[in-house]
Each structure stands twice: as C-alpha cells, then as structure tokens.
Structure 1
C-alpha cells in the first residue's frame, strides 16, 4: 500500500545518510540469494518487507519540495558502493539524493534521504519517475508516483486505426494517446457493421496497459473470423476513469469489389444473351429476312426428286 505524502520541505536536500543495523544483524541469507535490494524505507527504522510500500507516492503543489527515504539493504559479506540518480522521464530530473554515491557496509541497511523539487510552472497531474540505484554490477529502479495538485484532466484519443488481412483472419491496429494530465487505465470496445448487418461486437474490457500523461502506445486487436466478402466499418471506442473517451473508425473490404464482381457480371451477361437469342428464335424471321431450315435425313418423295433434279 502506498503511504501518505511525506512532509513538504522548504530547504535543500537532507545531507545525512543513516546507517542502520549493526554488523551481523542481517547474517541470515536473503531470499534473493544474498543480493542487495532497493525499496522505499519503512517507518521506525524497521527493515523493509513484502508488506511495505512497492513504490513511492508523493503529492504536492507546483513549487513544493517533497521528501522521502530510499532503503538500500546489503545482506552480503562485502561492502557495496551505490550510485543514485533519478530517471528515466523528465520528472526524474526533479529528484536529488543526499549523495550521488553511497557506500553500504556488509549486512547493513542504509536509509538515503532524497527530495523531489516540483517546478513552479509544471502542469497538474501525474508525473511518473523512478529512483535508480546501481551497484555491484546490478541496477534497480524504484517507481516514484508523483502527483502535482491542481485541476485534473482525463482525456485520450484513438488514432491510426487500420485492419490488415492475415490469411483467413485479420488484425486491427491502432494507437492510444493520453491527451490529459492523469494516468489512465483504458477499456476497449470493438464493433463492426457491414452491408449484411453486424459483423463483430466486443463489449468494453480493460486493456493490460497503463497510460501516463502524453504517452502514445501502439496496440493490436486480433479478429479471427472477419467476413469473407462483406465490406465493414470497424469502430473502436476507448474509455477511462474521469470521463475520458475516444473513438475512431476504419473501413475494411475483405475482397476488392472489382475482382469480386467479374464472375457475377459474366454470368449475368451470358444469361441475357441466351434470353435474347431464345426470344428471336421463338418470334420467327423478321420481314425481308430469309429463314433457312437445317437439312435433315428425312424428306418426302417429291421433295427428294426436286432436290435431286436441282442438284443435277
């Protein structure tokens, strides 16, 4: 559980580094094999545990200076020198530790004070950062959830929607953009309508993504059974807490209409020609048109004699 905001300090960084626990206090092997750990410090000088804070949470107005402590625990048998800095976002530059390097003796925990100086011209909302510790060939980053007080704006948009055929299936591509100043956990609903009615309906569900302010995230949505011939309009609707809502559409034509229309058009043309010829044969010869009968193998005797004389 994140703790409440620590006190706002008007002055500079606290200079002292408290070395806690005498030598031998942590002689038992640590659960992670004896490697050092970095975590938010617990209250009363107690050793941090799994029940303590998983990250820092600080809140203040623009211009405020916020303080907290980072616990570096070295359960090993040799000292470790740590290099500390904020990162990786712009707000990570607002973090200043009591020392850029801290040496922690073996089987010892050091609580390192640090401050976060909030710029006076920064916009209200969430500004995520991290406090990074490097030492002994390893790096650990402890998240810092910083909220600058002021009017909160929850806003997002859905952009660059497209549908791509993948064999008999398809995939929907899109980009989510956090346009507000609060961190969002979006929910997605998908609908598709074609000439023959609805082709897809997926109710809103949470997405496994968190959007800090200003973040752009490309995502995909599988569609295993798109229509084979029916052209559809695909609509994505994304919502989040605080009234954030964004929607966008994209057209999807499974088979080009020109190619799909050639066989039916040929059949229709052939059927029309067959009907015209049949009607002409049934109506008889037109005026002035000589009608020729096909010769057959059976004739009457006069007709046969007349034909024989004509041929001779």
Structure 2
C-alpha cells in the first residue's frame, strides 16, 4: 500500500469524532440564530409601532387625493381614513388648510385610533359664496402627539359661468397724478391693462401705451390706483381719458376734464384775461371737433362707461409707479 494511503488509513476518524464534528460545525450558526432571536424578543414593544407608522388617505382607497366640485356656497362631503398598524394606540388631530374644512368628529385632544385599527372621519368642505369659477386647492392634515404630520391634497373646482367685466370709477386729476378706481364686476380674477391719454388746447399732452398693472383683482373687489403725471402743463384745458382692458373681453373707460391755471403768478385783470383766453381756446377746440363730426365729451366731474349693476366690492389701496 502506498505511503499516502497508509497515512490516510492511520488517521481515519473514530466514530465518536465523526459524530462530534457536525455539532461543532453547526455551533456558530446556532449561536448567531439565538443572538438574533434574543434581540427580537428583547426589543421594546414600541419598536414595532415605530416601524409601522400610522397614515391617512381618502376613505375607500384608490384615490391619491380628495376631489370635489360645486357652485359657490355649496357644502361638499367626504371621509378621511386614519390607519394605525402598530401595537400601540395613537392620538391624531385633524385640520384643513386652504379651504374651509369642518370635521364631524373632532374631540378635544384629537381622535384616538386603537392599535391595528382604521378610523374613518367624515368632513365637509364649503365652497366660498363669492368664489370665482376655477380650481382651488387645500389639504387635510393630521398630526400626532409626537409632532409627526401627514396630509392628503384636496382639489376643489368651483362651477359657474366665467364672466370678465370691470369699470373705471372716480377718475380725478391732481397736481402731480391721476387717481382712479377699478372694480371687478365679473366672476373671474382680472389682471388689467391700462392706457392713458390727455389732450390739451394745443394738442396731445399724454399718450401712454397699454401696460399690465401689478394687480390681481378678485370678483367684487375694488382697488384705488394712481397714475403719476409730474410734468403736467401749468396753463391748459385738458381732457383725460383712461382705458382699461383685461383677458376675457373686459373693457372699461372713464374721462374727465381739468383746467390748469398758475394762480400764484396771476393777479387782477391779467388773471381774468388769462382765464378768459383759456376758456375761449377750449370752446373753439370743442366747436372744431363738433364741426368735424367728432364726439364732444361733456364730463366736468368724470364719467364711467359700461358700468353694470354689481354688489359692493371690498376696498383695497395701491399705487402704480
């Protein structure tokens, strides 16, 4: 027998040794399993609750957000689900943002959801009475006692006809500016554009091309604005005309007249003669317009064109630079 074979035969393991080898080889794996199981058994009960956090969603499933549609003044209903898959109860407060939201069950301290339970809470969303047609957004927000929050979007479409209408009111000329008010007489939000003209006895004094005003005018709203005019004439009879337009066909105009006389440098008869001269020139200019077939504006205190009945709007103030 070769020497290698004899060595292998001489060192062959005994039955006792063969039986003990598998157990020794499996010992490290068994120790690892026992350590892992000990970690699981010794874990705090709150570990499962932390790994399975509560959540909110529209009731019924299959919806990523709430959606509602209705005319102004409508009260819409839906239900939110609060799911608690953990082993401990949670207390959640519900609230709404962006829209008027009222929950049917909102006790002091919030809503208690037991472990492994889903709570369904009805709520209502009210469409504002004066809301313009179009889309609005908000959210249902939930917050627990530890400060964790979750939310679901709310999409709201306000129905009704879209009407773009506005008026220009209370037009007046001052020492260095022209003041006026815009009123939204329609049902849509308006971004108006303004054009200004002023004609004196001897010709055009002011001609400003249409430009967009830094205003978003809500339905029923009223805003007071000012148009600067620092280089107005010292002596003239002027007719001022404002034209305002907005997308959707909204259009409004207003005109007024003003007389500029340098009273500090005029006195006595000379002043009366000067005023008379301005008046005569203004009358001649008006007569020439009449002979040419043009319109003769007779609006000593301003006039409003295309004004329509509408409820009183709210008043805000601003200035156009």
TM-score scaled by length of structure 1: 0.45
TM-score (norm 2): 0.44
